[in-house]
Structure 1
Amino acid sequence: MTLILDDTKQLEFHTDMGEIIKPIKEELKSLNWILTNQEYTLLDYKEKGVVEKLDHESEIIHFDGQELLEILESRQIQFIWGVFCATKKRILKLDQDQIPYADMNSEIWTSPDKFLLPDSEIEIICFDSSYTIIKFKDKELEERWRIKFTDAKKLKKKNAS
């Protein structure tokens, strides 16, 4: 099932990944992650400067789970756009047409339960800083996440505009 947070007081801002990952952080550490289609603002830039690993110009940023967890827990980052995909195996290369994206991707709405990257175990989509969309292959993990984020709703299929 695909879940969406679109109107919640449970987060300071909708795409606060530091909060979003809290219920799943132990599992997050054991997975390999990519971030694509990223646009973000470092809310703590004046105090802490840049995050070396994050690069607006990169199509794909690779993280091991521990590395991603450290960034998300130690920095205050608002992801305006971004697709976080977690896999069991490291993703070495993707063809251009395989790179997951959120901006202007109607499949998010017309095929909400389809993973943008078929090998994903977890996908978190930061959509225009207004929505956080999350998908889990592991139903137990999904339920644990839903206990914390009670405002999350099932994302229902919509016709493309």
Structure 2
Amino acid sequence: MKGLIINKMRSDYFTNMSEVFNLLPEEELNFMWLISNYECNIYPSEQIPFDKDYVWMKGTELKEILNQKEIMFIWGNFTSYSSDTELKDVLKYRLPFADGNKDLWRKDIQLSNPLSNTELISWDGSVFLALSKNTSIIELLKNNYPDNEDLSRYNSDID
């Protein structure tokens, strides 16, 4: 498990998820994505509405929606699952969340859901966290966002 804390995005604001999804490899975009605990500056469509606890959709569809409008995700968890994972199995676990989630700030980082592959988190419009079983996703983000720090190392400084 690898994790990053990213302190500066390319955009002038946190967190422009279209920027992130445009970097992801096709393999990751073909997964199913759960968006939970989200708060945005605008709610772009019925696919990502104001009043839902979560949204479940394929990554390619999500990328398309994110590229239609500039959406600032102040809070939000974007969690990927292999394409054969069923929503009913995902929902057996607590929905991933950022606000108040102390587990994100422990040295031994873990994904919020054991069935997931990657978790991308907008934290209070001020930092971006990335956790993944796939180290190439973390390396890709590290190479594209030079103002980053290993999340385990960062968390060991605050324990």
TM-score of the pair, normalised by structure 2: 0.85
Runs of at least 4 residues off by over 6 Å: none
**CA–CA distance in structure 2, aligned partners of residues 140 and 15 of structure 1:** 21
Query: Residue type matched to 2:32 in 1?
Result: N
Percent same amino acid among aligned pairs? 28
- State whether structure 2 residue 36 is matched by structure 1 residue 36: yes
- Deviation, 1:39, is 0.7
**1:92 is aligned to 2:87:** yes
Deviation per CA, 1:59-101, whole angstroms, max 9, x where unpaired? 1210111110101122210001111100103342314x61111
2:114 corresponds to 1:118: yes
Q: Equivalent residue of 2:41, what SS?
A: strand
Cα RMSD (Å): 1.9
Tell me: CA distance 1:25–1:71, structure 2 relative to 1, closer, same or farther (3 Å).
farther
- Does the alignment pair 1:57 with 2:51? yes
Q: Identify the range of structure 1 (29-38 vs 109-118) with the bigger mean alpha-carbon deviation.
A: 109-118
Alignment of 1:10-49 (within 5 A): 10-42=10-42
Please give the per-residue CA displacement for 1:94-118, whole angstroms capped at 9, x wherever unaligned: 14x6111111111111256210111
> What TM-score do the two structures reach when normalised by structure 1?
0.84
* Unmatched tracts of structure 2, length 5 or more: none
Alpha-carbon displacement from aligned partner over 1:121-147 (angstroms, at most 9, x marks no partner): 110011111111011211123212221
Partner of 1:142: 138
Q: CA deviation at 1:11?
A: 2.6
CA positional deviation for 1:149: 1.2
Count the aligned residue pairs. 151
Give 2:6's aligned residue.
5
Kept after mapping to 2: 8 A contact 1:37/1:100: yes
5+ residue gaps, structure 1: none
Output the CA distance in 1 between the equivalents of 2:147 and 2:114: 27
Q: CA 1:112/1:24 → structure 2, altered by over 3 Å: closer, same or farther? A: farther
